[in-house]
């Protein structure tokens, strides 16, 4: 008795299997493409003026132009450099303060709500203060982004270290490890996934801070370029830059999400 | 009470412990508890839930200080975790970020055993607890009972003279529990270990032990010690024997009272809350 | 002395204020930024009697509030819809997340190209700022609803609007409140940054004007008012949430 696999009711076809595994991704791509098509059509059919809304094809052309003359890459490099500096500082500051607030329970409890309040406050509105402090320099951007990025890192580091179960620490004690060994061999790996999700948030907030600051003050990379193109009424180019910034955010999100899943893979 | 036998390898002397919780009367978990375990002996401590078994376990292991009394291991008063003692915890205690093999090799790694030897030994102990073939898996991919066996193998890897176990088989099904019990007895004989097993399972206590210490509900004290005079190895015939059933019945008669008291007290506590 | 969290908090805030004040008095570190608190209060007093300030305040509150309202309605609906039809939720999640985590101010050129320079732009920017946290909170809240409850409700043949009212909204109360709070903050940031960049009115514009005039004390006063605004909104949303019956 031989059964052909295609089309028989018990065994779904290759296509169906693929569809079941990736249906939401495919549907998402489909919807996205559909929206882009409507957008394109609304301009080529003349419903909306192309001086008001640049169609996707125009954005792609503008993107190609911007990458060919090197402006996009330069701006991206500048933004990423500033972001790297801010992230580095935020990591150092965030992890060490988070660690101290974990070590000292009382101070940890005291500062937790304060940090939450700062985090919930409209922090980017502080940007003029940084301008006054540092002048129109990259330091102003780095400082704002560092503060913005380190708060979630502080909060999550403390939270993550505190969330390590007592039994795991006791396993270390029963093996007569030193407190330092317990910290590095047990507490840190156990806390790693939650800590990383704080770092991920910190990175995203730092990126937000950098690009917004650049745009507001015409300084630095992507944000500055966007502002410049906007002043020159280069509408397709500004659309292209906005799109690439969103893509950058999406990429950072995707990459860090992937790392996060790798870290907490086996939990 | 303190007449010491010369060959007691572990003795608990007059240990008391209270817990203080804010806005509540202090809980006297252990009250002047005494217990002696001879070299090579298998002793089970049995008692109703919440009677202070884990507290006793943690004090013997040196993880929490007692209010009064002392723990003596091979004639020496302990101060913190003792080198001779290996502990298996009641709660989940495997390291989620390490594979089975790396979990078992953890104490060896910290003792500076070279990698090749470590892996070999880990494989040996994985096999001993029936986990060969799972060395490269992570704890999340295993069942509760398998994880508990990983924790057991990890503790065994250092070959401690005294093995302390806090309800290690609670998460296991009856058959696995029985088989693993037999395994533990074998291992104990091979390594010439002394075992103190904490349990709330009467059959398990009778199946495995030379003596069973019955604890009372709060305050926890050892109410009675029962010698289990059954031949080893204790296979199915022993377990189905009248004598075995007799021991089970006797322990239950003692425990019943305590368990009922525990239940009443928790009901009263619930009623007070409402 | 420093034995309770509250005391430590009070002490730290006092210490920061003291350092600030001493630094300002001896004019040591960047005195033009760390102006004495008395000067900030003086600035506040001066601003609070000028009618121009209230005009700016009104513009900012109007754009923020209006945009926030639109975002509340549309964000809640979209979030619930994405949660109710989970396949669409899963499908759109990566795209929404990418937009949600990008700085909203970069949409300003796009918005300006069809909304012009006026209030419409500010309102649109407020919507863009507020809608993502609201939508994502509603969606996340929907995912936590026990599917058994929905099936039980369906088995009683209830109408879809009753399903929303009796099953979805009660369990969404808390996540929506969180979303609204985040959303209001984001709307305020969006509007003020827009004003700071291109506005001719609003508190963001006023702050930048003072910055341009190097009237740092007054600029601080405006920022203080903005923070107070955010806090008041938080407080009101909280009160509102405790009032709404279960
Ligand atoms: N850290 C603690 N703080 C306050 N009370 C505690 C603490 N640890 C234990 N207790 C109390 O002491 C009593 C004994 O607890 P213990 O964990 O030793 O019980 P147990 O016999 O191991 O119970 P089970 O069989 O359920 O594990 C319980 O009433 C418990 O509430
Ligand atoms: Mg216990």
Q: What is the pLDDT of residue B1?
A: 42
Question: Where is average pLDDT lowest: B30-39, B198-207, C148-157?
Answer: C148-157
State the average pLDDT over residues B194-215: 91
pLDDT at residue B263 above 80? no
- Answer yes or no: do B110 and B55 share one domain: no
State the average pLDDT over residues C118-122: 89
- In whole angstroms, what separates CA B67 from the centre of its chain? 22
Q: What is the pLDDT of residue A86?
A: 96
Residue of A nearest to B54 (CA): A167
pLDDT at residue A249 above 90? yes
What is the average pLDDT score of chain A?
88
Q: What is the pLDDT of residue C216?
A: 82
Ligand 1 and B180: CB distance under 6 A: no
C152 is in which domain, residue-wise? 57-243
Q: What is the pLDDT of residue A10?
A: 53
Model confidence over C104-117: pLDDT tens digits?
A: 999 999 898 888 87
Q: Is residue A211 included in any domain, yes or no?
A: yes
Q: What is the pLDDT of residue A4?
A: 45
Q: Is residue A66 included in any domain, yes or no?
A: yes
- Answer yes or no: do B20 and B73 share one domain: yes
pLDDT at residue C169 above 90? no
Report yes or no: C1 at the A interface, CB cutoff 8 Å. Answer: no
What does the alpha-carbon distance between residue B124 and residue B131 come to, in Å, rounded to a whole number?
10
pLDDT at residue C244 above 70? no
Q: Is residue B249 included in any domain, yes or no?
A: no
Question: What is the phi/psi pair of residue C63, to 5°?
Answer: -60, -45
Q: Is residue C239 included in any domain, yes or no?
A: yes
Q: Is residue C23 included in any domain, yes or no?
A: no
- Answer yes or no: do B167 and B154 share one domain: no
- From the list A24, A54, A253, the residue facing C91 with the nearest CB is A24
| Residue with CA at minimum distance from ligand 1 atom 9 | B55
Q: Is residue C19 included in any domain, yes or no?
A: no
Q: Is residue B247 included in any domain, yes or no?
A: no
- Answer yes or no: do A173 and A237 share one domain: yes
| C-beta atoms of A174 and B140 within 8 A | no
**How far apart are the CA of B257 and the centre of ligand 1, in A?**
19
pTM: 0.86
As for the ipTM of the complex, it is: 0.89
Task: Give me C19's structure tokens.
Answer: 């350092």
Higher pLDDT, B210 or A19: B210
- Answer yes or no: do B80 and B169 share one domain: yes
Model confidence over B114-125: pLDDT tens digits?
A: 999 999 999 999
- Answer yes or no: do B186 and B55 share one domain: yes
- Answer yes or no: do A179 and A237 share one domain: yes
**Under 8 Å between Cβ of C165 and C233:** no
Distances (CA, A) of B227 to B10, B95, B210, C27, C236: 18, 37, 6, 84, 70
| C-beta atoms of B63 and A174 within 8 A | yes
Higher pLDDT, A51 or A236: A236
Q: What is the pLDDT of residue C61?
A: 93
Task: Give me A194's structure tokens.
Answer: 């939650």
Q: Is residue A161 included in any domain, yes or no?
A: yes
- Answer yes or no: do B186 and B69 share one domain: yes
Q: Is residue B197 included in any domain, yes or no?
A: yes
pLDDT above 70 covers a percentage of chain C that reads 98
Indicate which of C17, C61, C102 best probes the interface with A, i.e. most A CBs within 10 Å of its own CB.
C102
pLDDT at residue A99 above 80? yes
**Dihedral of CA C100/C104/C106/C107: which sign?**
positive
Of the three residues B159, B186, B216, the one that is the final residue of a domain is: B159
Index of the ligand 1 atom closest to the CA of residue B51: 21
The DSSP H or E segment spanning A133 is: helix A127-134
Residue with tokens 């399972």: B201
**How far apart are the CA of B53 and the centre of ligand 2, in A?**
6
Name the pLDDT band for A2 (thresholds 50, 70, 90). very low
CATH number where A99 lies: 1.10.3720.10
Model confidence over C33-54: pLDDT tens digits?
A: 778 888 888 888 888 888 889 9
Q: Is residue B2 included in any domain, yes or no?
A: yes
pLDDT above 70 covers a percentage of chain B that reads 97
What is the average pLDDT score of chain C?
87
Task: Give me B177's structure tokens.
Answer: 């529990």
Q: Is residue A187 included in any domain, yes or no?
A: yes
pLDDT at residue A9 above 60? no
- Answer yes or no: do A47 and A126 share one domain: no
Ligand 1 and B200: CB distance under 6 A: yes
> Longest Cα pair distance anywhere in chain A, in angstroms?
83
pLDDT at residue B261 above 80? no
pLDDT at residue C167 above 60? yes
State the average pLDDT over residues A79-100: 96
B59 is in which domain, residue-wise? 1-84+162-238
A162 is in which domain, residue-wise? 60-264
pLDDT at residue C95 above 50? yes
State the average pLDDT over residues B48-56: 88
| C-beta atoms of A211 and C103 within 8 A | yes
Mutate to test the pocket of ligand 1, among B12, B17, B19 (most ligand atoms within 8 A of CB): B19
Model confidence over B209-256: pLDDT tens digits?
A: 999 999 888 777 888 898 988 888 888 888 888 888 999 998 998 888
Q: What is the pLDDT of residue B265?
A: 75
What does the alpha-carbon distance between residue A19 and residue A246 come to, in Å, rounded to a whole number?
28
- Answer yes or no: do B72 and B169 share one domain: yes
Domain count, chain A: 2
Report yes or no: C156 at the A interface, CB cutoff 8 Å. Answer: no
> Which ligand is located closest to the Cα atom of residue B46?
1
- Answer yes or no: do B141 and B195 share one domain: no
Ligand 1 and B140: CB distance under 6 A: no
pLDDT at residue B3 above 50? no
Q: Is residue B271 included in any domain, yes or no?
A: no
- Answer yes or no: do B1 and B80 share one domain: yes
What does the alpha-carbon distance between residue C225 and residue A212 come to, in Å, rounded to a whole number?
22
Neighbours of C30 (CB within 10 A): 14
Q: Is residue B195 included in any domain, yes or no?
A: yes
Q: What is the pLDDT of residue A154?
A: 96
- Answer yes or no: do B58 and B187 share one domain: yes
CATH number where B13 lies: 3.40.50.300
Vertex B142, ends B137 and B143: CA angle to 5°? 170
CATH number where C147 lies: 1.10.3720.10
| C-beta atoms of C9 and A113 within 8 A | yes
- Answer yes or no: do A127 and A237 share one domain: yes
Model confidence over A200-217: pLDDT tens digits?
A: 999 999 999 999 999 999
Count of CA atoms in the C-beta half-sphere (13 A) of A164: 27
Q: Is residue C9 included in any domain, yes or no?
A: no
Domain count, chain C: 1
- Answer yes or no: do A83 and A164 share one domain: yes
- Answer yes or no: do A213 and A171 share one domain: yes
What does the alpha-carbon distance between residue B149 and residue B105 come to, in Å, rounded to a whole number?
14
Q: Is residue B1 included in any domain, yes or no?
A: yes
Of the three residues B159, B182, B217, the one that is the final residue of a domain is: B159
Domain count, chain B: 2
- Answer yes or no: do B122 and B2 share one domain: no
Name the pLDDT band for B274 (thresholds 50, 70, 90). low
Q: Is residue C48 included in any domain, yes or no?
A: no
Q: What is the pLDDT of residue A6?
A: 47
The DSSP H or E segment spanning C222 is: helix C216-243
Of the three residues B112, B135, B159, the one that is the final residue of a domain is: B159
Ligand 1 and B19: CB distance under 6 A: yes
Q: Is residue A6 included in any domain, yes or no?
A: no
Q: Is residue C49 included in any domain, yes or no?
A: no
- Answer yes or no: do B75 and B191 share one domain: yes
């Amino acid at each position: 008795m031989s059964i052909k696999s295609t089309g028989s009711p018990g065994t779904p076809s290759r296509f169906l299997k693929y569809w079941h595994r990736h249906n939401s991704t495919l549907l998402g791509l489909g919807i996205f493409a559909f929206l882009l098509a409507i957008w394109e059509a609304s301009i080529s059919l003349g419903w909306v003026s192309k001086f008001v809304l640049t169609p996707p094809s125009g954005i792609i052309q503008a993107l190609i132009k911007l990458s060919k003359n090197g402006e996009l890459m330069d701006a991206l490099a500048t933004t990423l450099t500033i972001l790297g500096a801010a992230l580095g500082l935020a990591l150092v500051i965030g992890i060490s303060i988070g660690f101290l607030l974990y070590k000292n329970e009382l101070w940890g409890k005291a500062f937790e709500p304060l940090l939450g309040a700062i985090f919930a406050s409209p922090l980017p509105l502080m940007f003029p203060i940084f301008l006054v402090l540092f002048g129109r320099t990259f330091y102003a951007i780095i400082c704002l982004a560092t503060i913005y990025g380190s708060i979630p890192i502080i909060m999550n580091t403390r939270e993550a270290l505190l969330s390590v179960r007592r039994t795991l620490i006791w396993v270390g004690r029963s093996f007569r490890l030193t407190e330092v060994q317990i910290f590095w061999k047990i507490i840190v790996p156990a806390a790693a996934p939650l800590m990383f999700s704080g770092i991920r948030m910190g990175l995203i907030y730092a990126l937000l801070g950098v690009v917004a600051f650049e745009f507001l003050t015409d300084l630095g990379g992507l944000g500055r370029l966007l502002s410049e193109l906007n002043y020159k009424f280069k509408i397709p180019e500004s659309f292209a830059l906005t799109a690439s910034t969103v893509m950058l955010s999406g990429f950072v999100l995707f990459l860090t999400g992937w790392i996060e899943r790798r870290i907490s893979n086996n939990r | 009470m303190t007449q010491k036998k010369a060959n007691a390898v572990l003795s608990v002397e007059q240990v008391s412990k209270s817990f203080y919780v804010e806005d509540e009367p202090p809980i006297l978990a252990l009250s002047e508890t005494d217990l002696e375990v001879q070299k090579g002996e298998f002793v089970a401590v049995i008692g109703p839930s919440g009677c202070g078994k884990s507290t006793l376990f943690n004090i013997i292991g040196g993880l929490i200080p007692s209010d009064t009394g002392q723990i003596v291991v091979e004639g020496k008063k302990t101060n913190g975790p003792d080198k001779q003692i290996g502990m298996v915890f009641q709660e989940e205690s495997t390291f989620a970020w390490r594979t089975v093999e790396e979990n078992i090799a953890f104490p060896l790694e910290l003792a500076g055993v070279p990698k090749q030897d470590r892996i070999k030994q880990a494989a040996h102990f994985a096999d001993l607890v029936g986990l060969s073939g799972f060395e490269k898996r992570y704890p999340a991919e295993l069942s509760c009972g398998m994880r508990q066996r990983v924790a057991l193998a990890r503790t065994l890897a250092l070959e401690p003279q005294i093995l302390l176990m806090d309800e290690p088989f609670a998460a296991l099904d009856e058959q696995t529990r029985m088989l693993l019990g037999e395994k533990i007895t074998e291992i104990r004989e091979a390594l010439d270990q002394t075992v103190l097993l904490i349990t709330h399972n009467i059959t398990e206590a009778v199946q495995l032990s030379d003596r069973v210490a019955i604890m009372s509900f709060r305050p926890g004290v050892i109410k009675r010690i029962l010698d289990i005079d059954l031949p080893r190895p204790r296979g199915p015939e022993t377990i189905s024997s009248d004598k075995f059933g007799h021991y089970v019945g006797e322990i239950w008669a003692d425990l019943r009272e305590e368990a009922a008291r525990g239940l009443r007290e928790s009901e009263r506590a619930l009623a007070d809350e409402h | 002395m420093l034995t309770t969290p509250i005391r430590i908090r009070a002490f730290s805030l006092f210490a920061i204020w003291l350092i600030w004040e001493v630094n300002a008095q001896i004019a040591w570190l960047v005195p033009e930024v760390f102006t004495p608190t008395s000067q900030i209060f003086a600035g506040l007093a001066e601003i609070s009697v000028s009618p121009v300030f209230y005009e700016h305040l009104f513009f900012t509150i109007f754009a923020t509030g209006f945009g926030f309202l639109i975002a509340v309605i549309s964000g809640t609906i979209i979030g619930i819809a994405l949660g109710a039809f989970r396949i669409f939720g899963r499908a759109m999640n990566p795209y929404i997340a990418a937009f949600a985590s990008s700085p909203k101010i970069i949409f300003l050129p796009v918005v300006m190209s069809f909304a012009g320079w006026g209030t419409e732009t500010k309102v649109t920017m407020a919507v863009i700022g507020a809608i993502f946290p609201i939508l994502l909170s509603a969606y996340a809240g929907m995912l936590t609803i026990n599917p058994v409850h929905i099936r039980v409700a369906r088995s009683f043949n209830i109408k879809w609007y009753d399903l929303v009212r009796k099953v979805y909204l009660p369990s969404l109360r808390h996540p929506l409140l969180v979303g609204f709070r985040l959303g209001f903050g984001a709307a305020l940031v969006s509007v003020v940054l827009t004003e700071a960049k291109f506005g001719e009115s609003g508190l963001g514009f006023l702050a930048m004007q003072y910055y341009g005039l190097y009237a740092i004390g007054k600029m601080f006063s405006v920022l203080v008012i903005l923070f107070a605004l955010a806090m008041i909104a938080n407080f009101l949303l909280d009160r509102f949430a405790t009032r709404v019956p279960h």
